[in-house]
Structure 1
């Protein structure tokens, strides 16, 4: 095995047989063409429905963001993401996974109104109506990984 080492500003190549131990290591020389990796299985995105309640500030603690990406055949797909306003450090807690929003959640429906049937101009007005309504909760249907969409 050969690796690229840098010590005191000089770069040198050493084999694994050498007994010399560097004091500073800043890079690796990897033989990528012969690199073999295990095959990865596809991850199926999970759909879930959550109910959000108004918080003390009067909002629901999330925002919407529209994004577009290319599908394999060159088609551009638009998705609406529902993202939490408050980001927590570390991995998601079990309660967040079951009943909360996670970054990257794709919004599929609000109160049983499918988002894919709503036009770009209509979505802000629907959201504004729901915000100004007297309802104290929203029911969101989400898909966890928006970039693993099926063509259904």
Structure 2
């Protein structure tokens, strides 16, 4: 199968929803952005980061872009994107839940216990709010993955 230059441009333009950088993305990136087989993949999260890199969006909530380490992927750069499917991962990273927790988690639980003592309703409400909402907000400040 072969495509004309105009057909390739149209394909990339559709994949990027008409963004001005459409011609500069790879065909592989265009295919991935248009692929609907992974219901969890959010192409708009990727486009948001591309928009940031291109100066169309003023901010990014993910980690800063950086060059790949090692000679094999030079001159390419690495950039994270984040979507709702990454929410639990980011909260887990914030509190190091896979590693058994961190000092911040210990301090937060101790603070909740001291603040609410024997009131189980307030204890649980405050703990869940700090763990989920606070954890996500704090992770966003450091850069989402």
Q: TM-score if structure 1 supplies the norm length?
A: 0.17
Instruction: Give the strand-richer structure, 1 or 2.
Output: 1
Higher RCO, Cα 8 Å, sep 6+: 1
Please tell me whether Structure 1 or Structure 2 has the larger radius of gyration of its CA atoms.
1
Q: TM-score if structure 2 supplies the norm length?
A: 0.18
